[in-house]
Amino acid sequence: MDFIKRYFGADFPRAVLFDLDGTLVDSAPDLAVAMDTVLTRLALPVVGEERVRGWVGNGAKKLVHRALAFAVGQAEHQISDHRVDSTLALFLEEYRQTNGCYSHLYPGVVDALKVWRSHGVPMAVVTNKLVEFVPTLLSGLDIDHYFVALVGGACTSQKKPSALPLLHACEVLNVPPETCLMIGDSCNDVQAARAAKMPVAAVNYGYNHGEPIAGSHPDIVVGSIFDLVRR
Is 82 a residue whose pLDDT tops 80? yes
DSSP at 215:
G
Give the CATH number of domain 28-98: 1.10.150.240
Residue type, 202: A
Is 111 a residue whose pLDDT tops 80? yes
The predicted model scores a pTM of: 0.94
Which pLDDT does position 2 carry in this prediction?
A: 86
- Read off the pLDDT band of 1 (50, 70, 90): low
Question: Known catalytic residues?
Answer: 19
Whether the CB-CB separation of 159 and 126 falls below 8 Å is answered with no
Give the CATH number of domain 2-27+103-228: 3.40.50.1000
Binding-site residues: 19, 21, 185
3-state secondary structure at position 196: coil
pLDDT by residue (tens digit) across 128-158? 999 999 999 999 999 999 999 999 989 999 9
- Out of 54-68, 92-106, 188-202, pick the least confident: 54-68
Q: What is the 3-state secondary structure (H, E, C) of 139-160?
A: HHCCCHHHCCEEECCCCCCCCC
Which pLDDT does position 110 carry in this prediction?
A: 99
Binding-site residues for Mg(2+): 19, 21, 185
- Give span(s): CATH 1.10.150.240, the chain: 28-98
- Read off the pLDDT band of 230 (50, 70, 90): confident
DSSP at 161:
T
Neighbours of 171 (CB within 10 A): 12
If you average pLDDT over residues 190-217, what whole number do you get?
96
Neighbours of 111 (CB within 10 A): 13
Whether the CB-CB separation of 112 and 229 falls below 8 Å is answered with yes
- Give span(s): CATH 3.40.50.1000, the chain: 2-27+103-228
If you average pLDDT over residues 184-208, what whole number do you get?
97
Percent of the chain beyond pLDDT 90? 95
Neighbours of 76 (CB within 10 A): 12
Which pLDDT does position 209 carry in this prediction?
A: 84
Radius of gyration of the chain (CA): 17
Is 74 a residue whose pLDDT tops 80? yes
Which pLDDT does position 139 carry in this prediction?
A: 98
Is 58 a residue whose pLDDT tops 90? no
